[in-house]
Structures are given as C-alpha cells and as structure tokens.
Amino acid sequence: MTAIETVSEQLCFGGVQGFYRHRSEACACDMSFAVYTPPQAGDGTRLPVVTYLAGLTCTPETFTIKAGAQRVAAALGLVLVMPDTSPRVDLPGADHAYDFGSAASFYLDATQAPWAQHYRMESYLTSELPEIIAAHFPIDPRRRGIMGHSMGGHGALTLHLKHPQLYRSCSAFAPVVAPTQVPWGDKAFRGYLGDDRAAWARHDACELVKSGASEAEILIDQGEADQFLTRELQPERFEQAAEQAGQPYRLRRQPGYDHSYYFIQTFVEDHLRHHAQALGL
C-alpha cells in the first residue's frame, strides 16, 4: 500500500478536511491532494466518492476553500477528493504561463519531452490515485463520480467518457469541451502531445462522446456572463456532439454568472446531489 503523509486535518461540518502528500509513481514526483471525509464515515461504512478537478492556476486548496462543498457532502454522506492540477516539478518552461505547465496539466498523459516523464495525470487519476483513496479512505470503489471546472471540467468529461466504469457519474462547471478547437487546448495539446492532431482527439470531450460509452446523464452548468464563454468554452459544441451521439446530458445556461467560484458555490449543491443520485445515495 502506498504510504501517504498527512499534512493537516481539520474538522468541518462534523467531518474531516485533510491535506495529504505522497510519492507518485505515475508522475515520478511528490503529489498533494485534499480529501473531505464526511461524518457518516466510520464502522466500516463505504461511502460514494466524488473527485473534483480544478481549473488553471488552482491547487487542491481552491475548491476546498472556495466552494462551500463540505456542507453538502456532510449532508449527503459523500467523500470529496481534490487532486492537484499538475505535477509540481521544476521543468524548463513549467512556470512561464498560467495556461501551460504547472497548474495546467489538462489531466492527460503527455508524450512530449520534457513533460512525458512527469505529466501523466490521466494515469495518476485513473489508476494510482483511485487506489490510494480506496486504501486510505472509507470509500466504495464501485461508486465514484468526477466533476470539475474549466480545464478541470475538460478533465472530468474526458476521464468519465474514457473510463465510465471507473467514474460513473460526471458533471462540470464551465468546462472546456472542445480543446482541439480553442486556444487553451491548442497550446496545451501542442506542448504535451506534439503536432499529431489524431492524438489530440483522444482528449477532446466532443470527440470522445461519439463512442457512446457513457450512459450517465452529464450535468453542465455554464454562466452566460463567463468571460471565457465564446473563446475557450463554447458549450454549444458539446451540446451538438452529445445530441448527435445520443449522450444523455443537461446543459444549464445560467444568466449573469461568470467563471468564478461565486458561480461554483451557487450551484455546487445541485452538482453534488446529481452525483449522489447517480451513485445510488
């Protein structure tokens, strides 16, 4: 069993908000993550678990501090897992831009040097971290959901669509749905995956949805005052792809809301209830 180090644990809504660190084999470096364990834990109970993938510039602390999610998780009996947004390694260029390198992994396995050695977030999130969580926290490995925001919404959609038996429920706030078609994704995929656009398609939710592998209804909230709406997000692309593929989904356009955690905290309860219902709580 991989050892994890407890950085801190604090009581919150009767459960435990913890920060942890461990040596990651997938990423070949130390990785940090946060977990909220609700008060229903104990006596061998195995609870459903929802992993939240944050957006560009974020850390495991972002959602933990800003979303107000613990209250809902405590009420529903959900474990929450907040991974980091990238490996934290001192690679050349890793800290030159907010949208590439550190805190901007796009949750895929990079194939290009120097990123390929460490930026293996898909492997980390679909194999190593789930095993660590199952070994150290009171979760039911058959009831896992995934959600995210912006770049993390892209991560949640793609990891669910590629691994629907692992992450059985999915939702997203203001996700990047078509990274192969927008500037953020173009820059990241070029850097992490090289120029072969066929490889890019394997990390694009609008492409992946065509497989029909997911039977879950995907919930997406999108603020209509989001500053990235038309350039980076373009939810209508997912709408169209999901319609064509017969993918169940619910896209809610929220008038007046922007890209911030004031938007996320407003709707986080709906999302966690969506997961709780899908995971049989």
Minimum Å gap between C-beta 256 and a copy of itself is: 4
Size of site (CB under 8 A) for a copy of itself: 22
Contact segment (CB under 8 A) with a copy of itself among 45-53, 106-114, 237-245, 254-262 equals 254-262
Residues numbered 195 to 224 that lie near a copy of itself (CB under 8 A) are 223
Question: Which strands, in side-by-side order, build the sheet including 169-173?
Answer: 5-12, 15-24, 29-37, 79-83, 47-53, 139-149, 169-173, 218-223, 249-254
Give which of 272, 260, 262 is closest to 71, Cα–Cα: 272
Residue 20: alpha-carbon gap to chain centroid: 17
226 part of the active site = yes
In angstroms, give the least distance from the CB of 263 to a copy of itself: 7
Nearer to a copy of itself, 107 or 261 (CB): 261
Q: Which amino acid is at 163?
A: H
Is residue 265 close enough to count as binding a copy of itself by CB under 8 A? Answer: yes
**Catalytic residue, candidates 32, 150, 171, 214:** 150
Residues 6+ apart with CB under 8 A from 165: none
Per annotation, catalytic residue among 160, 226, 271, 274: 226
What whole-number distance in Å separates Cα of residue 153 and Cα of residue 158? Answer: 8
Selecting among 163, 259, 271, 274, the annotated active-site residue is 259
Q: DSSP 3-state assignment of 254? A: strand
Q: Is 259 a catalytic residue?
A: yes
Q: What Rg do the C-alpha atoms of the chain give, in angstroms?
A: 17
Our CB check for a copy of itself shows the closer of 65 and 116 to be: 65
Tokens 């474990």 correspond to what residue? Answer: 79
Q: By CB under 8 A, tell whether 33 contacts a copy of itself.
A: no
- Would you tell me which residues interact with a copy of itself (CB under 8 A)? 10-14, 17, 65-66, 68, 70-71, 223, 225, 256-258, 260-263, 265-266
Residues belonging to the active site:
150, 226, 259
